[in-house]
Amino acid sequence: MREPGRPKDPCDANARATSGVTAVVLAVAAAAAIALPLGCRGPLAPPVPAAHDPEVAPRRGGTLRLASMGDPRSLDPAGPSDALALQAQQLLFAGLVDFDASARIVPDLAERWTVEDGGRTYRFFLRPGVLMHDGTELTADDVKRSAERSLHPATPNPNASAFRGLAGFGAFVSGRADHLVGVAVDGKYEVSFHLDDPDASFLSILAMHTLRPVCRSAGTRYDDAWAPCGAGPFRLPPGGWRRGISLRLVRHEGYFRPGLPYLDAVEWTFDAPVTAQLFRFEDGALDVLRDMSQPTQARFLADPRWRGLGVAEADRTVFGESMNTRMPPFDNVEIRRAVAAAIDREHYRMLKPAYMSTLTQPLPPAMPGRDPSVRGQSYDYAAALDHMRKAGYPYDPVTGTGGWPRPVVYPLYDQGLLAYTAQVLAQELARIGIRLELRMVSWSAFLALQQREGGAAMSQANWEMDYPDPSSVLDPLFGSASIGPESSYNTAFYANPAVDDRLIRARREADPARRMALYGEASRIICDEAPWAFVYAYHAYDVHQPYVRDLAPHAAWGLDVVHAFVDRAGGDLPRHLGSPLP
């Protein structure tokens, strides 16, 4: 019997070598066998068919299943917010006014309004009989209570100062007054908002979620433990929100628009990785796929079975290369102009073509009133070299000599697309003699550097419009009032009295045409002085199953779920994937 623990022939080097080769071959084969199912999965699963023809009339019932890599921070319109929270809040809470799908202001809880006192007073007449989720009727008292709750100094409301134009705002948020005199109850169904100065953007600001009426259970002060309750088309059932896991909203049967919404419920699965979302979607356990990798998106676009099932949402976010006008070399306007002219925006767009569109001016394409006559910035290599010469740093592309003598530090953080665009930018600027030193930092360090005076000479900045009005982009990004030593909105630290003048006048201008003309003038100046090189606008791209009907993009809120319906053959499939929802 062979003694345990001893090799057969430890001196057989040949055998050991053969065994080593075999092990390597086996290991590679095993690794390939493991990788193949994931890497070479073949074509996408076919779409799950609808029950009826596309022309079928909307029908009630069904659940729309969505997923996200994120997790909403709060469902309270007065609380902290993010893009995902806004989607849910839009379904839970109705406002006095809202945006329609093309971003026009339309009546919602208010059936009409008047503008008085030269634009200083907005008077709203509520629809009688509007029921909140708790069954009580909405009155003007609820509007005032909700506004005061939202703007109270103890409320962690990140948008409160958007309402700083309301009369008595300063006294109320500093605690000197118990009530906000700028919001007045004039009758059971009549409420008025009084401003210190005329503000033509006030209706757009009011259409945000911040002041949307909440049920009486919310009380007069913000409370983290409050269960969201409003007058929107969907309500939150008990236990419907499991933080970091899922959210289920069910139809509010007392919704004031008869027949709407069509869906019984909307469900989100949160913190879902992109691969898991894809598996679920292909399996029919997810109705809309929003988060997907670039290759996955390319596969959907190339697959004829999925043609026509993609929805590009509105371009609401602008991206640009922000140049700190108080730091060299970008304190020299000619250098900024050179950068703006040196960037071929098409090179950026090719990184993610279905999500990006080229941008040459500050306002995103989805912005109502965007002046298409603004020529904006464009790629012109000869002009870029000329601007470098005028700046005093001529660059010779043949010999590669000249240009800005020192590298410019460009901070970036670990976010997929930014890592690519930074490399594109570095290559574009190298062609005019500006060398970028890409420096990877954490997200928090990036924000600190970018928003601090003297923190970063150049960095990528982006802005998603809070509401579809030019003031929501131009004022925070390029108005001198947005400059601060820390947490500066205006990351270029750009101050131009001519731009400030246009922005202030536009806010007060009641005539829409004249107002938009003023924003056009401001945009032209900004494009010429180039505190930012505008590069691309970004939009989400969704793919949905054929049985999801009338799911249309909404210029302000992403997707219009209220008018969508589900027409799935055989009803809802049993859920065998993922965690069941309550």
| Continuous H helices in 152-242 | 169-173, 202-207
For residue 544, the cross-strand partners are 288
Q: Which is nearer to other proteins, 28 or 312 (CB)?
A: 28
Q: Which is nearer to other proteins, 6 or 308 (CB)?
A: 6
**Which residues 127-156 are close enough to bind other proteins by CB under 8 A?**
153-154, 156
Q: What does the alpha-carbon distance between residue 279 and residue 141 come to, in Å, rounded to a whole number?
A: 48
Q: Does position 244 bind other proteins by CB under 8 A?
A: yes
- Side-chain-side CA neighbours of residue 304 (13 Å): 0
- Side-chain-side CA neighbours of residue 284 (13 Å): 18
Nearest distance in Å: CB 38, other proteins:
6
**Which residues 80-109 are close enough to bind other proteins by CB under 8 A?**
80-82
Count CB-CB contacts under 10 A for residue 467.
Answer: 21
Q: What is the DSSP string of 278-296?
A: HHHHHHTS-SEE----HHH
Q: Does position 258 bind other proteins by CB under 8 A?
A: no
Q: Does position 237 bind other proteins by CB under 8 A?
A: no
Q: Which is nearer to other proteins, 27 or 510 (CB)?
A: 27
- Specify the residue for token string 């700190």: 324
- Contact code string over 282-301 relative to other proteins, x by CB under 8 A: xx------------------
Q: Does position 220 bind other proteins by CB under 8 A?
A: no
Nearest distance in Å: CB 33, other proteins:
10
- Contact code string over 22-41 relative to other proteins, x by CB under 8 A: -xx-xx--xx--x--xx---
Q: Which is nearer to other proteins, 116 or 223 (CB)?
A: 223
Q: What element of type H or E holds 553? A: strand 552-554
Contact 124, 190 (CB under 8 A): yes
Backbone angles phi, psi at 90, to 5 degrees: -65, -30
Q: Does position 420 bind other proteins by CB under 8 A?
A: no
Contact 533, 341 (CB under 8 A): no
State the amino acid at position 430 in one-letter form.
A
Crossing angle for the helix pair 416-430 and 333-342, to the nearest 10 degrees? 110
Q: What does the alpha-carbon distance between residue 500 and residue 510 come to, in Å, rounded to a whole number?
A: 18
Q: Does position 361 bind other proteins by CB under 8 A?
A: no
Q: Which is nearer to other proteins, 5 or 570 (CB)?
A: 5
- Contact code string over 471-510 relative to other proteins, x by CB under 8 A: -----x-----x-x-xxxx---------------------
**Which residues 390-419 are close enough to bind other proteins by CB under 8 A?**
none
Q: Which of 464, 510, 512, 514 binds other proteins (CB under 8 A)?
A: 464
Q: Which of 14, 373, 399, 444 binds other proteins (CB under 8 A)?
A: 444
Stretch that binds other proteins, among 101-109, 442-450, 522-530, 545-553 (CB under 8 A): 442-450
Q: Which is nearer to other proteins, 89 or 269 (CB)?
A: 269
**Which residues 146-205 are close enough to bind other proteins by CB under 8 A?**
153-154, 156-162, 164, 173
Q: What does the alpha-carbon distance between residue 295 and residue 404 come to, in Å, rounded to a whole number?
A: 38
Q: Which of 250, 445, 495, 517 binds other proteins (CB under 8 A)?
A: 445
Nearest distance in Å: CB 444, other proteins:
3
The set of residues, in sequence order, having a beta carbon less than 8 Å from that of 152 and lying 6+ positions away, is: 172, 173, 220, 221, 222
- Specify the residue for token string 């420096």: 439
**Secondary structure (3-state) at 321:** strand
